[in-house]
């Protein structure tokens, strides 16, 4: 038999066997995601989410961008970005490696967020994306600034203002030293670390502007003195002075409720 004929026979057998395999009945379930691109952002949802809910979430993203830009005195945000809405922390864990409420990955141009009609993490996560695109990935010792600014933007837990919370951390001796906050952010109790960082970010921006804030973000906590002209202990003293002026006596604070998160 000629070589050509042999090849044709082998190929036919292969094709027949392939088509037989595809005819076998297998159990597959269909999972569909749908997307919509508006300007520079593409939004992804499970096809099971109704349109009204999708539009509500998209509007929240758009408003978050406008308000966050205003907070950091920037005017536009044009980076191409995907926003993936997922429906459970389990799903979040599968896609991001962490069962968080939201995760921002500027290097992947993707933001994952839980789809929540109330208490959504969108504004917090969008702030991460905007600042990391505009100012770069912060120095490791600026993680507290990255999380603090996003928490400040996202809003404190209802009923607990940032300054009230800080006053309580001081009066209950739960306050974290600035050094510890900077060098070991995630090693501290979560609710205190995030809220205290948000308070300190607001304090620095309100009193010294965004120029110095951005420099510290990029260069890290070791440059505090050279950028601001004071060291970590002097900063702690200023924060204490500010909060004592605002609240001269001890305040009521529902620690258990606060610590449950919002
Ligand atoms: Zn965050």
Cα 213 to Cα 134: distance, rounded to the nearest angstrom? 13
Closest CA to 154 of 120, 130, 183: 120
Asked if residues 181 and 193 have their Cβ atoms less than 8 Å apart, the reply is yes
Asked if residues 242 and 172 have their Cβ atoms less than 8 Å apart, the reply is no
Burial of 38 (0-12, 13-18, 19+ CB in 10 A): exposed
9 CA → ligand 1 middle, Å:
61
Q: What percent of the chain has pLDDT over 70?
A: 90
Percent helix, strand and coil across the chain, each to the nearest 5: 60, 10, 30
Q: Give, in order, the Cα–Cα distances in Å from 81 to each of 44, 73, 178, 228.
A: 11, 21, 33, 34
154 CA → ligand 1 middle, Å:
9
- What is the average per-residue pLDDT within 56-74? 97
What pLDDT score was predicted for residue 149?
98
125 CA → ligand 1 middle, Å:
6
Closest CA to 154 of 194, 124, 114, 125: 124
| Position 9 pLDDT exceeds 90 | no
Asked if residues 41 and 64 have their Cβ atoms less than 8 Å apart, the reply is no
249 CA → ligand 1 middle, Å:
32
234 CA → ligand 1 middle, Å:
27
DSSP string, 122-172: HHHHHHHHHHHHHH-SPPGGGHHHHHHHHHHHH-PPTT--HHHHHHHHHHT
Residue whose entry in the numeric block shows the structure tokens 């965004």? 210
Q: Which range is least confidently modeled, 3-7, 142-146, 212-216?
A: 3-7
pLDDT tens for each residue of 193-219? 999 999 999 999 999 999 999 999 999
144 CA → ligand 1 middle, Å:
10
- What is the average per-residue pLDDT within 166-180? 97
99 CA → ligand 1 middle, Å:
13
187 CA → ligand 1 middle, Å:
15
20 CA → ligand 1 middle, Å:
51
Asked if residues 114 and 92 have their Cβ atoms less than 8 Å apart, the reply is yes
Supply φ then ψ for residue 113, to 5 degrees: -145, 145
172 CA → ligand 1 middle, Å:
25
The pTM of the full predicted model, rounded to 2 decimals, is 0.87
112 CA → ligand 1 middle, Å:
12
Confidence grade of residue 159 (pLDDT, cut at 50, 70, 90): confident
Confidence grade of residue 127 (pLDDT, cut at 50, 70, 90): very high
Domains of the chain, each with CATH number or no CATH = 33-136 (3.40.30.160), 141-259 (no CATH)
Q: What is the DSSP letter of 200?
A: H
pLDDT tens for each residue of 106-125? 999 999 999 998 889 999 99
């Amino acid at each position: 038999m000629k070589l050509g004929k042999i090849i044709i026979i082998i190929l036919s057998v292969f094709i027949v066997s392939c088509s037989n395999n595809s005819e076998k009945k297998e159990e597959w379930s269909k999972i569909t995601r749908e997307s919509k691109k508006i300007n520079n952002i593409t939004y992804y949802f499970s096809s099971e989410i109704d349109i009204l809910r999708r539009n509500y979430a998209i509007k929240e993203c758009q408003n978050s961008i406008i308000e966050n830009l205003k907070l950091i005195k920037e005017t536009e945000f044009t980076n191409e970005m995907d926003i993936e809405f997922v429906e459970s922390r389990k799903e979040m864990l599968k896609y991001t490696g962490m069962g968080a409420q939201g995760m921002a990955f500027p290097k992947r141009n993707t933001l994952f967020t839980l789809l929540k009609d109330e208490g959504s993490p969108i504004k917090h996560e969008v702030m991460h994306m905007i600042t990391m695109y505009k100012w770069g990935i912060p120095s490791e010792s600026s993680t507290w600034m990255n999380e603090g600014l996003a928490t400040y933007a996202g809003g404190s837990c209802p009923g607990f203002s940032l300054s009230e919370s800080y006053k309580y951390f001081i009066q209950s001796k739960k306050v974290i030293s600035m050094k510890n906050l900077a060098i070991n952010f995630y090693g501290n109790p979560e609710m205190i670390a995030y809220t205290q960082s948000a308070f300190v970010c607001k304090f620095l921006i309100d009193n010294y502007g965004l120029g110095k804030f951005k420099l510290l973000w990029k260069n890290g906590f070791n440059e505090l003195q050279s950028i601001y002209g004071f060291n970590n202990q002097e900063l702690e003293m200023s924060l204490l002075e500010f909060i004592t002026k605002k609240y001269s006596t001890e305040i009521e604070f529902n620690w258990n409720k606060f610590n449950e998160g919002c």
